[in-house]
Amino acid sequence: MIVRPKPNLIGILFSLKGSIAKRIALRSLLVTLLASVIVLVETLHPAYFSKVNATPFTLLGLSLSIFMSFRNNACYDRWWEGRKQLGQLIIELRSLIRETQVLKDPGERDPLLRELCGFAHGLIARLRVEDEAAAIRPWADVEADLHHPNLSDRLLQHVGARCSRLAELGRISEWRYTQLETRLVSLSQVQAACERIKSTPLPFPYTLLLHRTIYLFCILLPFAMAEPLGWLTPVFTAIVSYTFFGLDEIGDDLEDPFGFDENDLPCNALLRLIEREVLAALGHDELPPALEPVDYVLN
């Protein structure tokens, strides 16, 4: 995620970090070169373009802009929903840290909190299609459960079983057990919501139609602008293609908020925050440093 102060005019014009300009540069350049060729043909053979009218392109551009705004809003909703769910993850883990303070025996509290930290690591690895077991191992023993299709949920089952045994042994009251179980249910809801975002992309025909229309519009637009604008056509084509290709690329970025792109959610920083708070609750004095933005990018 890009974390930086509001740039000045120079920064707005020349900043590349977090911009999609590098990723769409080739497409915009090709469309601009095509516009230059079309203007050259129009200069040599103006009769070919005498009957081309710009009105259909105006209507198509307006419709395309509205269509893109709907898609980008849908993609941003997914990004923001992912951020809210990760925020809820932190809330529930902090609540569990606080509510397990009644356990005075470190042998009872420590493995419980470490498994919860392992759950957070496993969930992020699952969302990023990484090795879930490798992410959990530093915090909990998963060797006996490697066959399980959902190791993160399996850890919650272990935590729930620990809480149940503590209630049976009288280490915690029935009311406290109910509170802890409610927190675990909320963690399951967070996992299910994040998996829903990850496994349910925007409908493919919706995205495909938009991609095709953007390319058709940017390729055909110079035919309408060549006669009235002349050699200004490549300039305006470059601006229009940058805008449409850029908005399309931003939507692709936001559609999967848990990835490794510069504009994705800072999952590593959130995991480090959870690590620090769990280790502090376990009595550790030397905590891993909080992750800071590197070149304006917070991972």
Residue in 286, 274, 245 with CA at minimum distance from that of residue 87: 274
* Backbone region of residue 274 per phi and psi (left: phi > 0; alpha: psi in -120 to 50; beta: other values): alpha
The fraction of the chain above a pLDDT of 70, given in percent, is 90
pTM listed for this prediction: 0.86
Mean of the pLDDT values across residues 259-279? Answer: 89
Q: Give the pLDDT confidence score for residue 9 in this predicted structure.
A: 58
Question: How large is the average pLDDT for residues 213-230?
Answer: 84
**Residue the block writes with tokens 């509170």:** 179
CA distance to 111, 277, 282, 288, per residue, from 106 (Å): 8, 16, 8, 21
Q: Which of 11-20, 206-215, 274-283 has the lowest mean pLDDT?
A: 11-20
The mean pLDDT value of the chain amounts to 85
According to DSSP, residue 2 is labeled: B
Highest mean pLDDT among 88-102, 224-238, 243-257, 283-297: 88-102
Dump pLDDT digits (tens) for 193-210: 999 999 988 888 878 888
The alpha carbon dihedral of 17, 19, 24, 29 has a sign of negative
Task: Band the pLDDT of 15: cuts 50, 70, 90.
Answer: low
**According to the model, what pLDDT value does residue 51 have?**
66
Mean of pLDDT values over 134-150: 87
Average pLDDT over residues 137-141: 89
Q: What is the mean pLDDT of residues 220-240?
A: 85
How would residue 98 be classed by pLDDT, with cut points 50, 70 and 90? very high
Instruction: Provide φ and ψ at 147, rounded to 5°.
Output: -75, -15
Between 92 and 19, the more confident residue is 92
**242-265 pLDDT, tens digit each:** 888 888 888 888 888 998 887 888
Give the single-character DSSP code of 297.
B
Q: Phi and psi of 294, rounded to 5°? A: -115, 115
Mean pLDDT of all residues in 64-86: 89
Residue 288 pLDDT exceeds 60:
yes
